[in-house]
Amino acid sequence: MNKPVLDIIRVSKRFGSTLANDDISLSLGKGEIVALLGENGAGKTTLMSILFGHYVPDTGRVLIDGQQLPPGKPRAAIRAGIGMVHQHFALAPNLTVLDNVTTGTESLWSPRSRRLEARTKLMAISQRFGLKVDPDARLGDLSVGEQQRVEILKALYNEARILVLDEPTAVLTQIESERLFTTLKDMAAQGLSLIFISHKLDEVMSAADRVVVLRGGRHVAERRTTETTKAELAELMVGRTVTRPVRAPSTPGERVLEAVGVSVRAGGVDRLKSVDFHLCAGEVLGIIGVSGNGQATLAQLLSGTLAKSGGDIRLFGKEVNRLSVEDAVAAGIGRIPEDRNREGAIGEMTIWENAILERLGSFASRGLVDRKAAIAFAQTIIDQFDVRGGTPTSRTRLLSGGNMQKLILGRNLINRPRILLAAQPARGLDEGAVAAVHERILDARRQGAAVLLISEDLDEVMALADRIQAIVGGRLSPPIGSEEASARRLGLMMAGEWMQEAAHAV
């Protein structure tokens, strides 16, 4: 490695009884891409937050070009050339791209806004790094991938020489992820130094020059990607050999849920268009599709948060005109929402409060919550589902994304639901946690639960689903059996090939 532009030296950080970082050191060279790999809760984000000045380390120091960086001062980090792209974007959806990029870059006492100069500078950076953007577009109107591009441009606008990306592909489609890493490699070739936090082994192996592995808050290994394998990295990350569960053959039971010609119109737009599907006890039905094709609407419809505008739904053989949230919970429908932060948990509430959110009546009497029983229930979830990083009385926002997902999963599966709606259940999880979540889903299937799996991950759907349907433009394809599924066939289904075949058949 050439002379380091960044040195993190023996950094430790404790939050109460949790030792998040334990004597960690790492370095970064000019034009180098380093992947920071580890399980959910391994201390990756904490370490990068110390680098950017969001946290003050208990011990240790950070050097930029050999000069110590003042701890706990984000502005000092920015002036030193550090830019950070957060997993959950720190942008204002009501402002334009240009306003988002330039916010905080001019003094409030400046006699005039240098808007023309700012636009010229932004467009020059955009062209240099191949990050196409409309400076006048309202941020809230952009796709997730485009919003991430704005976050990167904001860092580069502030003269970043070291760019840190926290789980950069957690909310991106496969195509967006591939484009992102092509851009990152081009940026490194032009002299930028990059650290990206990840637990996705494919992207680590394809994009990084070097991998630093954290486990339990400690630096446990370091490898060059040309000298390691995915299997070795997975074992280093979790401390054991990781194998994903295998779906065993089974015979489905009775139909528990059926939709015939169901449509949903919301906000003046047809979100679902005459969809047909059925779900049987003891099976997994996989719904595959590119994000934005109606998956979220389908999940909201079946969890009772959105009403149908046409068609019929039968639940356990009975027609349902309007399924409410209360009806869904009472019927034994468990829900793992796509967005755990917005729909799955409330960060400022404690873990025990989030654990009982959807079944408050089971823990309340005469308007009072049985706190002792609720805390015991939360502790059971923590123990059985390996939720790390907090106690029942900890704030849920202190959990890593993956551990928050395990809390939501446990909250639903511990009550043995009759129907499980699982939307992107393994998104943002490390390899060990993915294997654990998949095992839990298959275990629910073995126990007779009917599982509706909504995912953009072809491998996940092929591994778990007994039958598969593609969703395109709010329409569902006819189902195919898992024995008929291949990456190529599912790719064609996601592209809408079945719609063309249906049109020719008419």
Contact 290, 173 (CB under 8 A): yes
H helix intervals, 291-400: 295-303, 325-330, 351-355, 371-384
Residue 345 sits in the same domain as residue 323? no
- Provide the pLDDT for residue 109: 46
pLDDT band at 171 (very low <50, low <70, confident <90, very high): low
Measured CA to CA, the distance from residue 426 to residue 231 in angstroms comes to 19
Instruction: Reply yes or no on whether the pLDDT at 107 is more than 90.
Output: no
Residue 185 sits in the same domain as residue 127? yes
- Provide the pLDDT for residue 199: 78
Residue 173 vs residue 375, higher pLDDT: 375
Q: What angle (nearest 5°) sits at the alpha carbon of residue 217, between those of residues 214 and 222?
A: 25
**Is 243 a member of any domain?**
no
Most confident of 2-6, 20-24, 290-294: 20-24
Residue 187 sits in the same domain as residue 272? no
Q: What share of residues in the chain are helix, strand, coil (percent, to 5)?
A: 40, 25, 35
Instruction: Report the CATH number that the domain containing residue 190 is assigned in CATH.
Output: 3.40.50.300
Q: Give the distance, in angstroms, between the CA of residue 474 and the centroid of all CA atoms in the same chain.
A: 23
Rounded to the nearest integer, the mean pLDDT of the chain is 88
Tokens of 469: 């349907």
Residue 137 sits in the same domain as residue 229? yes
Residue 323 sits in the same domain as residue 206? no
Contact 473, 293 (CB under 8 A): yes
Instruction: Reply yes or no on whether the pLDDT at 1 is more than 60.
Output: no
* Max CA pair span of the chain: 74
Instruction: Reply yes or no on whether the pLDDT at 181 is more than 70.
Output: yes
Residue 59 sits in the same domain as residue 143? yes
**Is 464 a member of any domain?**
yes
pLDDT band at 112 (very low <50, low <70, confident <90, very high): low
pLDDT in tens, 70-82: 999 999 999 999 9
Residue 407 sits in the same domain as residue 421? no
Q: What angle (nearest 5°) sits at the alpha carbon of residue 158, between those of residues 157 and 163?
A: 95
Instruction: Reply yes or no on whether the pLDDT at 428 is more than 50.
Output: yes
- In the chain, the number of structural domains is 3
Residue 257 sits in the same domain as residue 366? no
Tokens of 220: 């446990």
Query: Rounded to whole angstroms, what are the CA distances from 92 to 100, 147, 158, 172?
Result: 7, 10, 17, 19
Residue 65 sits in the same domain as residue 155? yes
pLDDT in tens, 121-131: 999 998 888 88
- Provide the pLDDT for residue 495: 83
- Write down which residue in 415, 434, 468 finishes a domain: 415
Angle between helices 230-238 and 431-446 (to 10 degrees): 80
**Is 357 a member of any domain?**
yes
Instruction: Reply yes or no on whether the pLDDT at 467 is more than 80.
Output: yes
Tell me the mean pLDDT in the region 280-288: 96
DSSP 261-299: EEEEEETTEEEEEEEEEEEETT-EEEEE--TTSSHHHHH
Residue 147 sits in the same domain as residue 270? no
Residue 289 sits in the same domain as residue 351? no
pLDDT band at 500 (very low <50, low <70, confident <90, very high): low
Tell me the mean pLDDT in the region 102-108: 68
Residue 228 sits in the same domain as residue 370? no
Contact 458, 482 (CB under 8 A): no
Instruction: Reply yes or no on whether the pLDDT at 506 is more than 50.
Output: no
Sequence-distant (6+) residues with CB within 8 A of 146 are 133
pLDDT in tens, 219-274: 999 999 999 999 899 889 888 877 788 999 889 999 999 999 999 998 888 999 99
Tokens of 68: 């110590």
Is the pTM higher than 0.75? The answer reads no
- Write down which residue in 187, 203, 238 finishes a domain: 238
Instruction: Reply yes or no on whether the pLDDT at 505 is more than 60.
Output: no
H helix intervals, 247-357: 295-303, 325-330, 351-355
Measured CA to CA, the distance from residue 215 to residue 376 in angstroms comes to 28
| Domain range enclosing 474 | 248-332+417-506
Tell me the mean pLDDT in the region 107-122: 72
Least trusted range by pLDDT, from 115-124, 426-435, 486-495: 426-435
Instruction: Reply yes or no on whether the pLDDT at 478 is more than 90.
Output: yes
Least trusted range by pLDDT, from 206-220, 398-412, 459-473: 398-412
Tell me the mean pLDDT in the region 15-24: 90
- Write down which residue in 394, 415, 436 finishes a domain: 415
Nearest to 54 by CA among 31, 76, 35, 32: 76
